[in-house]
Chains A and B, each alone.
Chain A
Amino acid sequence: MIKKILLGIIVIVVLASGGLYYWLSTENKADIKNGDATRDNPAPQITLTELNGNPIELSSLKGKPVFMNFWATWCPPCVAEMPFINELYPQYKDKVQFVMVSVDDPKDKDKVVKFIADKRFTFPVYTASQADIAKAYNIQGIPTTYIISGNGNIKKVHVGGMTKQELKALLDKAVKVK
């Protein structure tokens, strides 16, 4: 009797999980096409919003290389590398455009503003719609840094935090990208 009940439970669980998996798989629309947001491909267009609310298109930043870093206030390695980025910003801002994109939930924008103000970071910070970030860049882990050339092609992708030396080396490469 117990064996029959157990078998019944197992069958129900397998069917339910199969159904759940099917339902969930149709929900996750993060389609990944080969070549999206990867090296030597055009950087996907995305609308960024400055902390004061002004929108800006990523594509409008053509002309100079772009250092684009996806981060969040709740991400310790992201926060750990930001003081280094802030130190290097004055040296490189004339040659490289810094785009620090927070992936914090939009309702936490005040946290982002407060965090940047408390730390007195001077680099430009942006937010973007989470759906846009997911669709365009399919960020899998943060911090993720993109180096985009002056004509809009992704030249380098680095996943993970960086030391000051690694950041400096990356920015030196960014200055030279065509």
Chain B
Amino acid sequence: MAKRRIIQILTAFIYNGNLPGFIQGRIWQGSSKQLCVPGLNCYSCPGALGACPIGSLQSFVSGTVLRFPFYVLGLLILFGLILGRIVCGWFCPFGLIQELLYKIPSPKIHKNALTLKLTYLKYLIGLAFVIIIPIAFFAWDGVGIPAFCKFICPAGTLEAAVPLITLNSDLRSGLGLLFGWKFLLMLFTILISIFIYRPFCRFICPLGAWYGIYNKLSLFGIQVDKVKCTSCNNCVKICKMDCQEVADRECINCGECLKVCPTKAISFKQL
């Protein structure tokens, strides 16, 4: 198995190490949840040992008091500066799930001009659902809501809602239209991941949008030796994401392009 896959699987187990939670239908309540993990991993997942960075960010703009999220934002900047979208390619369980679904044999919809345009959607979704809507609700009736978590995040539905309501009958009493919507959205995401490579990461995920900004700045990640590069574009052609060049904001640092570069111009940055 490729080393990236091994690390993705290890990451999933490390982020969700509270295995008894999956039997008891309860979440971990220990102090390790003071720390955000770099990837999108719902903190309501029974196994989750850390906090989701987007969920944590939302917690500062939801409820009856608005606070600037110094700690979470500082961590997000730090993760970006160290890893950029390596998080997406190596340290995100929801990315792993989409990649495994894509392996199911089926006709595939490859990247094209439309998918490239759709990659901008995740920035709009991030701005709207992570920042603007929560604050707008706060301004309107004094209570901010975690709009991305509440209305969109399929990772939360899959990793948290489904196991918890399966195991915990008390939680079923609150299911309603919102759960219906989230469940359909989760099913849709799972389904299209069979035909389209990582659709959530490419078009929806605000965390991927954030880390993409840091790809060129990060300590680790993919780089191109411009002297060796002959602009053959093999790298862009093989790339399943919507990269226009290696290590741009869409690059999840999976390393597939390294294998096809005829001049070995592509490499991972070393310290």
Contacts and interface: CB of A to CB of B under 8 A. Distances in A.
A159 B174 contact: yes
B207 to A, nearest CB: 21
B65 A73 contact: yes
B30 A24 contact: yes
A76 B32 contact: no
B26 A76 contact: no
B64 interface: yes
A37 to B, nearest CB: 10
B255 to A, nearest CB: 12
Contacts of A161: 174
B63 A73 contact: yes
Interface in B1-36: 3, 6-7, 10, 13-14, 17, 24, 26-32
A72 B59 CA distance: 12
B222 interface: no
B63 A160 contact: no
Contacts of A1: none
Contacts of B146: 76
Interface stretch (A10-18, A44-52, A56-64, A121-129): A10-18
Interface in B183-239: none
B214 to A, nearest CB: 22
A160 B14 CA distance: 29
A32 B144 contact: no
B112 interface: no
Contact of B29 (A20, A30, A160): A30
A138 B174 CA distance: 18
Interface residues of B, number: 32
Interface string A70-98: 00111110011000000000000000000
Given A24-B49, A159-B174, A73 B64 contact: yes
Given A30-B29, A80-B143, A134-B29, A74 B171 contact: no
A157 interface: yes
Given A17-B14, A74-B63, A141 B171 contact: yes
A109 B146 CA distance: 23
Contact of B26 (A140, A157, A158): A140
A117 interface: no
Interface string B45-81: 0000100000000010011110000000000000000
A126 to B, nearest CB: 18
Interface string B137-173: 0000001111000000000000000000000101101
Nearest to A14: B10
Contacts of A14: 10
Contacts of A140: 26-27, 168, 171
B32 A159 contact: no
A123 B6 CA distance: 55
A159 B170 contact: yes
A6 B32 contact: no
A17 B143 CA distance: 38
22 contacts: A6-B3, A13-B14, A14-B10, A17-B14, A17-B17, A21-B49, A24-B31, A28-B30, A32-B24, A73-B65, A74-B59, A74-B65, A76-B63, A76-B144, A79-B63, A80-B143, A141-B171, A157-B170, A158-B170, A158-B174, A159-B171, A161-B174
Given A21-B17, A158-B173, A160-B171, 13 more contacts: A17-B10, A17-B14, A28-B28, A28-B30, A73-B63, A74-B63, A76-B62, A76-B143, A79-B63, A80-B143, A115-B64, A134-B29, A159-B173
9 nearest A-B pairs in the assembled complex, by CB-CB distance: A160-B174, A74-B63, A28-B30, A73-B64, A21-B17, A17-B14, A76-B145, A159-B170, A79-B143
